[in-house]
Structures are given as C-alpha cells and as structure tokens.
Amino acid sequence: MPSESFQRLPLEVQDIVTSGLETEIHTAFELIGEAKNSGSLSAEEIGFLEGDIIRASALRSQLTGEDTQL
C-alpha cells in the first residue's frame, strides 16, 4: 500500500524521490560488480552496499506501494 502522504506530493517531487532511490540502487549494483571484478572493496564494504540496496528498495516499496524485484 503506497504512503498516502507521499502520494499527496506533486508528481514531480515523487519522480525526483523515486528516481533518486533507483539511481542509488543502480549505483550500488555497479559498485558491487566492479569491486567483485577488481577486488577493490572488502567483503564488509560490499555488505554495506548490499544493505544500501535493500534499504533503498524497501523505502521505494513503502512509498510507492510497488513491489520491487532485485
């Protein structure tokens, strides 16, 4: 169920917020991929990025009511 207060925001603001969350998710996936290929990040740092993906996805789902597939 979407957040009623989020749904009351202007569509432009909703788009900015959801686009920002999607960008954060995409960037974290890219960083993880690069790190796995180059070994530039520790397992702990990769874990932090994976946590960021989970939190951003959960927030997006909570705000929009959409079930995101990772």
Distance CA 37, CA 53 (A): 19
Q: Read off the pLDDT of residues 39-52 as tens digits, 9 standing for 90 and up.
A: 888 999 999 999 99
The string of DSSP letters for 42-69 reads -HHHHHHHHHHHHHHHHHHHHHH-----
Cβ count near 11 (within 10 Å):
8
**Rounded to two decimals, what is the model's pTM?**
0.81
Q: Read off the pLDDT of residues 6-61 as tens digits, 9 standing for 90 and up.
A: 999 999 999 999 999 999 999 999 999 999 899 888 999 999 999 999 999 999 99
CB 35 within 8 A of CB 41: yes
pLDDT of the residue at 70:
58
Distance CA 3, CA 62 (A): 6
pLDDT of the residue at 3:
82
- pLDDT at residue 2 tops 80: no
